[in-house]
Amino acid sequence: METRGRMTIDPQGDALIIGGAIDEAAALHEMVTRAQGNRLVLDLGAVTFINSLGVRDWIRMQAAAQKAGLDVELRRVAEPLVHQLNMIIATRGNAAVTSFFAPYACDACGREESLLIDAVANAAGLVKLEPPPMTCPECGAAMAFNDFPERYFSFLSS
């Protein structure tokens, strides 16, 4: 595992697992050199924070990947990054999001949790802004999507 400031990089299988905070120390553009073949796969489930300098570096990484002709796949995109993908269109680049975390709440027991959504398997419903049904891991009741679908899923429309 490699550490850059408050961010960690852990290569596993075909992906680079990114965790912690993406900030001025991230040097994300260097990820492009770690692509396998012409694919750069980033697992972002452990990202906890991204600041404005991290966003700038993220946009530079996306541009460098595009210039290098790489296909970028984003897996398990954490909520802090989903918010950036929704607010700043340039953060999307040409990346394909295959899964992402989204907020759900259980009315039965009060549990709130960020749950993983398979963007490929649920593509038809997500295009219609329909969050997939989720079951509460605590009590087994149906959970409700805990945001506005038209806002939260907007990054998928690019």
Domain ranges within the chain, ordered by starting residue: 2-97
pLDDT of residue 158: 61
Q: Judge: domain 2-97, CATH 3.30.750.24.
A: yes
pLDDT of residue 5: 79
pLDDT of residue 29: 87
Burial class from Cβ neighbours inside 10 Å (0-12, 13-18, 19+) for residue 46 reads: middle
Neighbours of 101 (CB within 10 A): 20
CB 146 within 8 A of CB 127: no
Q: What is the mean pLDDT of the chain?
A: 95
pLDDT of residue 116: 98
Task: Name the pLDDT band for 1 (thresholds 50, 70, 90).
Answer: confident
H-helix or E-strand containing 66?
Answer: helix 52-67
Task: Name the pLDDT band for 79 (thresholds 50, 70, 90).
Answer: very high
Mean pLDDT across 18-22 = 96
In this prediction the pTM is: 0.93
